[in-house]
Amino acid sequence: MASDETSGKDLTAADSSSVEHVTAAVGTAVVGTAVVARDAVANPGFPPHRPRITDLDPRAEKRAERTVYTLFYLSIVGSIFAIAAYMIFPIVPEDPGSVRLNNLFIGVGLALALLALGIGAVHWGKALMHDEEGSDERHPVRGSDETRARAVEIFQEANTESGIGRRAVIRNSLIGALVVFPLPAVVLFRGLAPQDQDPVALLNQTMWKKGTRLALDPSGSPIKASDVTLGSSFAVIPEGLADLEHGRLEEKAKAAVILVRMKPEDLNQLPERATWSYDGIVAYSKICTHVGCPVGLYEQQTHHLLCPCHQSQFDVADHAKVIFGPAKRALPQLPIAVDSEGYLIAQSDFLEPVGPSFWERQ
Ligand code: FES
């Protein structure tokens, strides 16, 4: 039975067969005994090296080189095909067939580009790059000057062994394939923006304009001021929105409003907005200024509007300023008035962009 000097405990026979005891010393002083576990599995070493056909036959090597650059050129063709498909098969609104064709041909082009690029790179590595077994000893992560110098050396070796400097056709075709491959993404993202219209202007404007009646969502019936009782709240849309044939949802996503009636004396209105409400009735954008969820929960006692997505709260009594949550700015107010028949109408569009902030909001 062996003895562990640092702990004072005895080691069993099994312990002593599976460990080595190493006495460590600093200067002349013995400070303890280290225990080093033996490897559980012996290192089997490398199998015998088998040269590839491309190492033995120059014609096979040339053939592999041709295959690799042909695949990279094929990748370029696939990327260009995807761009051409985007232009030749545009998406026509209300035509599902055009969406199918557009997706099909763009997909075929991108698949060809990626597949050829991948296969070419793998074939290059397996058939042409330097073929030699090697092993790296594990070492501390900390890098020393020698390690850094070795890294540079390895990089240079890789450069030599892969032949990227020597095989100009392969290198250039690979660079070409990598440069062309992202181009379909550029044209696809451009397709997300509205055609023929300035996207910033679209974000700034809603369907509200001077004289538009406030209507109930979703029926579209106009609302009389006398129908809005104290403490009530209504989800509101511009009159006429329910009858739109195209773009109804897009318009609603910007123009939705929440209407609330409070005691006029409870309203703390900004001086410049003194004429924006009617007898305690105020209208605010329903689109949360955080990330655009509908702010639909009105708490009558506290006058708070709650966004259910991330719990932002707005105080309707205090020009809908943020009192809690991640939203950073107050809900935009819609200036309202009453027409000669007693219906609530907008005085104008919102005077600031609704919804989340965006890059050119000012
Ligand atoms: S979207 Fe309203 S709080 Fe996040």
Among candidate residues 258, 257, 259, 256, the one with its CA nearest the CA of residue 230: 259
Q: 259 or 36, which is more confident? A: 259
What average pLDDT does range 46-55 have in this prediction?
89
| Co-location of 210 and 341 in the same domain | yes
| Co-location of 88 and 182 in the same domain | yes
**CA of residue 358 to ligand 1 center, whole Å:** 15
| Co-location of 220 and 317 in the same domain | yes
* Residue of 258, 290, 323 to test ligand 1 pocket, by largest number of atoms within 8 Å of CB: 290
**CA of residue 185 to ligand 1 center, whole Å:** 30
The CATH number of residue 242's host domain is 2.102.10.10
| Co-location of 31 and 3 in the same domain | yes
pTM tops 0.85: no
| Co-location of 211 and 249 in the same domain | yes
**CA of residue 296 to ligand 1 center, whole Å:** 11
pLDDT bin (cut points 50, 70, 90) of residue 260 is: very high
Contact 221, 243 (CB under 8 A): no
Domain count along the chain: 3
Q: Which domain holds residue 5?
A: 1-41
352 pLDDT higher than 70: yes
Among candidate residues 299, 289, 308, the one with its CA nearest the CA of residue 260: 299
Helices (H), the chain: 13-18, 53-56, 58-88, 96-123, 145-162, 168-180, 183-192, 199-204, 248-255
Q: Does some domain include residue 142?
A: no
**CB 319 near ligand 1, within 6 Å:** no
Per-residue pLDDT tens over the stretch 51-77? 999 999 999 999 999 999 999 999 999
What average pLDDT does range 217-239 have in this prediction?
91
| Co-location of 117 and 210 in the same domain | no
**CA of residue 293 to ligand 1 center, whole Å:** 6
| Co-location of 104 and 32 in the same domain | no
The atom number, within ligand 1, closest to the CA of 325 reads 3
- Rounded to the nearest 5 degrees, what angle is found at the Cα of 54, between the Cα atoms of 49 and 57? 110
| Co-location of 218 and 336 in the same domain | yes
| Co-location of 88 and 17 in the same domain | no
Among candidate residues 1, 142, 168, 141, the one with its CA nearest the CA of residue 72: 168
